[in-house]
Amino acid sequence: MGVNLLAVLASALATMVVGFVWYSPMLFARPWMVLMGYDPDDKAKIAEMQKGAGASYALSLVASMIAAAVLGKIISVATINTALYGMKVGLAVWLGFVTTVQLTNSLFSRQPAKLYAINTGYQLICYLAMGAIMGAWR
């Protein structure tokens, strides 16, 4: 495929790290939970959600690997070989595809704008990170 597989793996792992921080109590855990309709103070419900999260994390990692591989291919075809230009491509992909798909979903599912901003902001950081890694490790 012409993509550095180590960079794909590093990019996917980076999105997981970003997600752990982004959706942690340090940043957006509480507002995200409230906007999703969960009670952040219901410790039993949170523990129950955490028990079943393993499969979701595994599938999320696979999805991140696919996204990184596709972004890596775009970067490869464009002959980009710096982190900065990789970030620019990541930004363009995020703006052109991720934000538009998530906006459509948000509008039709009647999600609050703040929830859209939290989730799409996370994706922005992920695509910038993946672009940087893929551009630098090409």
Residue ranges of domains in the chain: 5-136
pTM comes to: 0.94
pLDDT digits (tens, 9 = 90+) for 29-50: 999 999 999 999 999 988 888 8
How far is the first Cα of the chain from the last one, in angstroms, to the nearest whole number? 12
Of the pLDDT bands very low, low, confident and very high (cuts 50, 70, 90), residue 88 is very high
Distance CA 79, CA 51 (A): 43
